[in-house]
Structure formats: structure tokens, C-alpha cells
Chain A
Amino acid sequence: NAGVTQTPKFRVLKTGQSMTLLCAQDMNHEYMYWYRQDPGMGLRLIHYSVGEGTTAKGEVPDGYNVSRLKKQNFLLGLESAAPSQTSVYFCASGTGISYGYTFGSGTRLTVV
């Protein structure tokens, strides 16, 4: 019963380093999302995908890139990490805005 799996769960990066966060779902969902959660600000949408091979920008896309080469995977990349990208990142998947969503357990990223 995997649902949505995020890797890694924790990571510390130095400013300027790059990394990729992986989100994998086994529910055949079309929609996938990446969010960041910062204290006092709630969840904010970074990028999303409505199907394999598609991506779109959300509310706070700057400094991030995404890819959805396979339906089950949605990758979030940081090309040159900055301290402002210190956050908890959540991935979610679903079948559309009128249906429920399943969230991953989150990735806590610290950029020093």
C-alpha cells in the first residue's frame, strides 16, 4: 500500500548545489503536484502536471524545474539551491480537482 512515496525524506544542501526530489505514485493518477510548506504560510503550489509529459507553473515556480517523463513519477529539481528554498516539500497526486488527493510524507530540505 505505497500510495505516494517521496525520496529523500531529509536533505541538507550547500548554497549553489543541485538536487532532485522524486515523487512516485502507484495509483495511476493523472494529476501530480509539488508544494512547499513554510511556517505561518501554509502550502504553496510550485509546479503541477495533468498527465505524462505535461508540466505547468504554480504559485511559486522560480528556482525549480520539474519533469513528468513517466506517469507514475514527478521530479522536482533545484539547479542552484538557495537558503530561501529551505522548506518542507510535499508531493500529492489525484484524479482531478473534484476528487480527493493523496499526499506524500514530505521532504525536509535545509540549504545552508
Chain B
Amino acid sequence: KNEVEQSPQNLTAQEGEFITINCSYSVGISALHWLQQHPGGGIVSLFMLSSGKKKHGRLIATINIQEKHSSLHITASHPRDSAVYICAVNDMRFGAGTRLTVKP
């Protein structure tokens, strides 16, 4: 069983919808990261969390340390949000990613 599990694997949404991507992990962590991989392949770090909640624009990331669970939310989704979203913990142990497609 992978130490970092993401759900769903694939997600298709209509523009404007509220998106939630989930990440569960089975190890103790110092930090959890959310990354975005663009269709062209580049990887960008979105958030680093050790507790609570962070917000950047339309993106919100939360973490529940006791439940070993994190969520990434996208409000008012847009086609440019289409990408693979990756959860990673500690020394960068990665989930398999969630492929998000937002249709206009």
C-alpha cells in the first residue's frame, strides 16, 4: 500500500464548479506539499502545510494531522486549472496524482 494515497485519480468538472482533491497518508509527517504539474510537464509547488489551512487566490489547502488527511480545494474552477495535482509528504514521498480536467 502506498504511503500517500490520492483520490480521485481523475476528475472532470465544468467551469465554475468547486473542486476537492483528497490526500491520505500513513506516515508521521513534518510537512505536506501540494504540487501542480502542467500539461507541458513542469511542476510547481503550490502549498506547504504542517497544520491548519492555507489560501492562495482560488486555491485552499487544509490538513488534519490527527486524521492524516489533507484536501486541496479549487473555487470557481477554470479550464486553466486543468493539470495533475500531486500530494507529497516529508522527504517528498508522492501520491500518484489527480488529473483534473475543467471543461468550458
A residues near B (Cβ < 8 Å) are 33, 35, 40-45, 48, 59, 88, 90, 92, 97-103, 105-106
Q: A101-B33, A103-B43 are in contact. Are A43 and B91 (CB under 8 A)?
A: no
Is the C-beta of B96 less than 8 angstroms from some C-beta in chain A? yes
Q: Is A97 a contact partner of B42 (Cβ separation < 8 A)?
A: no
Residues of A within 8 A of B90 (CB): 97
Q: Is B93 a contact partner of A45 (Cβ separation < 8 A)?
A: yes
Contact partner of A105 (CB less than 8 A), chosen from B30, B41, B97, is B41
Residues of B within 8 A of A92 (CB): 43, 92
Q: Is A101 a contact partner of B92 (Cβ separation < 8 A)?
A: yes
Q: How many pairs of A and B residues are in contact by the CB < 8 Å rule? A: 52
Residues of A within 8 A of B43 (CB): 90, 92, 103, 106
Q: Is B30 a contact partner of A40 (Cβ separation < 8 A)?
A: no
Is the C-beta of B31 less than 8 angstroms from some C-beta in chain A? yes
Interface string of B82-94 (1 = CB under 8 A from A): 0000101011111
Q: Is A35 a contact partner of B96 (Cβ separation < 8 A)?
A: no
Q: How far is the CB of B104 from chain A (nearest CB, A)?
A: 27
Q: How far apart are the CA atoms of A92 and B86 in the complex, in Å?
A: 15
Residues of A within 8 A of B20 (CB): none
Kindly report which residue of chain A lies nearest to residue B4, judged by CB atoms: A42
Kindly report which residue of chain A lies nearest to residue B9, judged by CB atoms: A40
Q: A100-B48, A102-B45, A103-B45 are in contact. Are A43 and B86 (CB under 8 A)?
A: yes
Is the C-beta of B50 less than 8 angstroms from some C-beta in chain A? yes
Q: How far apart are the CA atoms of A70 and B22 in the complex, in Å?
A: 39
Q: How far apart are the CA atoms of A45 and B97 in the complex, in Å?
A: 15
